[in-house]
Structure 1
Amino acid sequence: MNTIRSLARRAALAAAATAAVASAAAVHAQGSTADEIAKYRQMLAEGNPAELWEAAGEELWKKPAGPKNASLEQCDLGKGPGVTKGAYAELPRYFKDAGKVMDLEQRLAYCRMTLQGLTREEATKNPFSSSGKPSEIERLVAYLTGESRGVKMNVQLGHPEEKRTYALGEKMFFYRGGAYDFACATCHAVDGQRIRLQDLPNLLTDKGAQAAYTTWPAYRVSQGEVRTMQHRLYDCLRQQRFPEPAYGSDVITALTMFLAKNANGGTYDGPAMKR
């Protein structure tokens, strides 16, 4: 109950900060729009409610659950069973035990099934929270990504499957479709583009990919929830009017691999805070 009250207080403060900054920007706008937005984000980051999601995720990570009444503390995220520090900065990657490349959310579902005995349906249930339906997955992801804060992105293509997955992700990035005949590249393959007040990073450059990828997952002030990378890509495809991707699908992992590899060398700084 205390955690819920704390979440509500943080969310209310974040919403108040959003309104205050928006009002100040309208009356006292100075410098470029991008500069003002940067100041707004800095103000919000000082009280990021994502910290509460991280704390809740750590509790879930250590709590015995499922038919096997086991915690997730022996889950191997690529650096050995139970090692969480820096693991996210090296994902997606190939996992020999599963025989495939996995991103964090796929791997988390795999560990919930193998360690805790959950079915796939149970392990992937409610991946994105909604009103009155909090998501355990979002909280676990917040905790695990936070364990790589300050670590340099270092996604490798040493295994043939990693190279194949990266190539598939690159193809997906440039693939045009949907009612608008859009691709990810339509908005994110050139410099200087903007939608509404948002600068659109060029994800083909080191600077653009690093700035974008290293700040997700993120607490969305407008939604009052921490949203994962799967949710971010799902929402992008929705706006492009692409068919809805299945949660944990290999094509989303491939697109994540492409973006994560392009962000190599950037310092991970999530979960961050977004509008």
Structure 2
Amino acid sequence: MKTSRRRCAGAALAVAGTLALAAAAAHAQGSTAEEIAKYRQMLAEGNPAELWEAAGEELWKKPAGPKNASLEQCDLGKGPGVTKGAYAELPRFFKDTARVMDLEQRLAYCRVTLQGLTQEEALKHPFASTGKPSDIERLVAFLAGESRGVKMNVALNHPEEKRVYALGQKMFFYRGGAYDFACATCHAVDGQRIRLQELPNLLTPQGAQAAYTTWPAYRVSQGEVRSMQHRLYDCLRQQRFPEPAYGSDVITALSLFLARNANGGTYDGPAMKR
């Protein structure tokens, strides 16, 4: 009888200890998240992305290419030259190409048609590296910033938009690579994190809005503004998927899936991230 009582008491103490540890871990996790949020807020007050936006606006207005023309007549979906709120409605279907395009695909199209660059020239050097800035990232920073404060409003009215959204959804759940991962492995449940990095649930409006509306973003660790193309490219690289071509339709499909899920959220980029 005494042995049974001791066992019960021991079990009770073990349960109490486990609950205490769990509570402490949850508190620590909450405190860490709060401190990270404060850190990001402090950094955001001096976001270097503003320099990229200014440089991008200059490039947008500067005549260039064989036709010595600016990009000011580029139609991003709201009419030639209209930049305000355009990013908040991309990717979208464009009649002149009969394709769903994201911002970077559309920029390449405008650089070819308006400025006379070849497709290869228009897509060259999309991501900056040490000592080699990217005009594309600067243009993207400027154009994305033109939607700051605008509600995300990505439509699925055209059959092609619906088809590409479905492709993006399929890609989100597709498992592959050396790790047999999918986007959903990390981003389809609540409360997941890797070390101190929160992993938003991109299937919920709250999670998708928090993530999508802050890209492009200035990456402190890289000293560059990175676009959504780069973010998705890097995610696939970390999953050990084959390297996607820049401006590929599969990246546009993933972007459309995420952007649509973020509808209703207020765009607040380019932001700043670690």
Is the pair's TM-score, using the shorter chain for normalization, greater than 0.5? yes
Cα displacement string for residues 190-235 of structure 1 (whole angstroms, at most 9, x for unaligned residues): 0010011011000000000000000000000010000000000000
1:158 corresponds in structure 2 to 157
| Map 1:131-146 → 2, pairs under 5 A | 131-146=130-145
Cα displacement string for residues 211-264 of structure 1 (whole angstroms, at most 9, x for unaligned residues): 000000000001000000000000000000000000000000000000000000
2:258 corresponds in structure 1 to 259
Distance 1:30 1:136 in 2: 39
Distance 1:175 1:30 in 2: 30
Unmatched 5+ stretches in structure 2: 1-27
Q: Which has the larger radius of gyration?
A: 2
Q: Which amino acid in 1 is paired with 2:269?
A: G
1:168 corresponds in structure 2 to 167
Cα displacement string for residues 127-155 of structure 1 (whole angstroms, at most 9, x for unaligned residues): 00000100000000000000000000000
Distance 2:218 2:255 in 1: 19
Q: Secondary structure at the match of 2:235?
A: helix
Q: Which amino acid in 1 is paired with 2:111?
A: R
Distance 2:216 2:29 in 1: 30
2:40 corresponds in structure 1 to 41
2:8 corresponds in structure 1 to none
1:212 corresponds in structure 2 to 211
| Map 1:213-228 → 2, pairs under 5 A | 213-228=212-227
| Map 1:47-196 → 2, pairs under 5 A | 47-196=46-195
Distance 1:99 1:163 in 2: 14
**Cα shift at 1:269:** 0.2
Distance 1:82 1:146 in 2: 15
Distance 1:176 1:30 in 2: 29
Q: Which amino acid in 2 is paired with 1:101?
A: V
Cα displacement string for residues 38-95 of structure 1 (whole angstroms, at most 9, x for unaligned residues): 0010000000000000000000000000000000000000000000000000000000
**Cα shift at 1:32:** 1.4
2:232 corresponds in structure 1 to 233
**Cα shift at 1:179:** 0.2
Distance 1:225 1:127 in 2: 12
Name segments (4+ residues, structure 1) moved above 6 Å: none
**Cα shift at 1:182:** 0.1
**Cα shift at 1:30:** 10
- RMSD over equivalenced CA pairs, Å: 1.0
Distance 1:183 1:209 in 2: 16
Cα displacement string for residues 133-178 of structure 1 (whole angstroms, at most 9, x for unaligned residues): 0000000000000000000000000000000000000000000000
What is the TM-score when the length of structure 1 is the normalising length? 0.89
Contact persistence 1:30–1:36 (CA under 8 A): no
Aligned residues: 247
Distance 2:102 2:30 in 1: 39
Identical aligned residues as a percent: 90
**Cα shift at 1:31:** 5.7
Q: Secondary structure at the match of 2:114?
A: helix
Distance 1:30 1:251 in 2: 35
Contact persistence 1:86–1:151 (CA under 8 A): yes
Q: Secondary structure at the match of 1:231?
A: helix
Q: Which amino acid in 2 is paired with 1:241?
A: R
What is the TM-score when the length of structure 2 is the normalising length? 0.89
2:25 corresponds in structure 1 to none
